[in-house]
């Protein structure tokens, strides 16, 4: 990602955070199998802290793809949700077009509503 001109304005920390969130979202997505990724069984494979956070988000009905980026994480990482959303959207669009032949478009839950 750091070699692509469209990402040069984003810090490595922003890129890493967006990649992390997108990796989790893709691993939970029904399109994972269609793009050669393994869907993770979070009940068996995820650390308990992540499971607790995912459960809390689902319980709150926050359907944003950036729901894992909680205020506590924003404060700890010093990366705002607004800044992260720009990088996340750019990364998702890039992967969708350049790598996955627009197959990610089928899962609307991956995309940030405008």
pLDDT of residue 71: 86
pLDDT of residue 35: 92
Mean residue pLDDT of the chain comes to 86
Say how far apart CA 24 and CA 15 lie, in whole Å: 14
Q: Which of 89, 43, 49 is nearest to 68 (CA)?
A: 49
- pLDDT < 70: residue spans in the chain: 1-2, 55, 58-62
pLDDT of residue 59: 66
Query: Cβ distance 84 to 90 under 8 Å?
Result: no
């Amino acid at each position: 990602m750091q070699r692509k001109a469209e990402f040069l304005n984003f810090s490595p920390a922003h890129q890493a955070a967006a990649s992390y969130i997108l990796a989790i979202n893709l691993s939970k997505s029904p399109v994972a199998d269609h793009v050669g990724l393994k869907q993770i069984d979070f009940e068996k494979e995820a650390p308990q802290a992540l499971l607790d956070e995912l459960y809390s988000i689902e319980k709150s009905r926050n359907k944003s793809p950036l729901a894992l980026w909680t205020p506590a994480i924003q404060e700890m990482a010093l990366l705002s949700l607004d800044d992260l959303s720009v990088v996340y959207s750019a990364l998702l669009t890039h992967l969708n077009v350049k790598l996955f032949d627009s197959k990610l478009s089928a899962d609307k839950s991956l995309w940030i509503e405008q």
